[in-house]
Structure 1
Amino acid sequence: MYILLALIGACVLGIAAHYLIGGRELRGVAVTPAIATALAAAIYTGMQWLGVGEDSIWLWLASVLGSVLIAAAATVAIVAVRRRSDASARAALGI
């Protein structure tokens, strides 16, 4: 049941990261929160399998904050790729 706390926390922080990162018009509104939530589930589960207990701060830091940081980096990368592809499409069209 504690995994739900990690997932909700990662999703909420992912929503905040969506609004803090520029280029919102170039990606979907659910991209960053979805990446953060999926990563939080994978990290939490993996650390539980490795024997880290729910009372460990490292489980919570890695699953909630770590997943949001990785999701933010992925979002920045998505925006950069989209800007480059848009620029090359404009150049190809002569706009």
Structure 2
Amino acid sequence: MQIILAVIVGAAVGLAVHFLVADRATRGVVIGPVVGALSAGVVWTILTWAGVGTDSVWLWLSMFAAPLVVSYPVVVLLSRSRVARDANERARLRIG
């Protein structure tokens, strides 16, 4: 049941990343929280299956570190690719 805590914290970290990265209007608001929740849940599951117990600090730190390490680059890459694609399309259409 503690995995629910990891998923919620991962979603919160992903939401914070969404608001901290520039060009918010170029991506959906749920991208950051979903990527954060998925990464926290997957890492929590892998560590649990590897035998790391809930008494270990590494398991609890993973629910903060994994969403930050995964969702920040994903959100940045999505924003950059959207901005570049929009600029190319504006240049192609000669609209500014």
Same fold (TM over 0.5): yes
Aligned to 2:82: 82
Secondary structure of 1:7's counterpart equals helix
List per-residue Cα deviations over 1:28-76 (Å, max 9, x = no partner).
1111000000111111101111111111111122233222231011100
Structure 2 counterpart of 1:32, one-letter code: G
**1:60 maps onto 2:60 in alignment:** yes
Task: Please tell me whether the aligned partners of residues 7 and 64 of structure 1 are also in contact (alpha carbons under 8 angstroms).
Answer: no
Alignment partners' CA distance in 2, 1:4 and 1:46: 15
Task: Please tell me whether the aligned partners of residues 9 and 63 of structure 2 are also in contact (alpha carbons under 8 angstroms).
Answer: no
Aligned to 2:45: 45
What stretches of structure 2 of length at least 5 have no aligned partner?
Answer: none
Aligned length: 95
Alignment partners' CA distance in 2, 1:76 and 1:55: 34
Alignment partners' CA distance in 2, 1:38 and 1:23: 23
Structure 1 counterpart of 2:60, one-letter code: W
Alignment partners' CA distance in 2, 1:14 and 1:67: 6
Structure 1 counterpart of 2:42, one-letter code: A
Structure 2 counterpart of 1:23, one-letter code: D
Most deviating of 61-70 and 74-83: 61-70
Aligned to 1:72: 72
RMSD: 1.1
List per-residue Cα deviations over 1:6-33 (Å, max 9, x = no partner).
1111111221121111111000111100
What stretches of structure 1 of length at least 5 have no aligned partner?
Answer: none
Aligned to 1:27: 27
Secondary structure of 1:35's counterpart equals helix
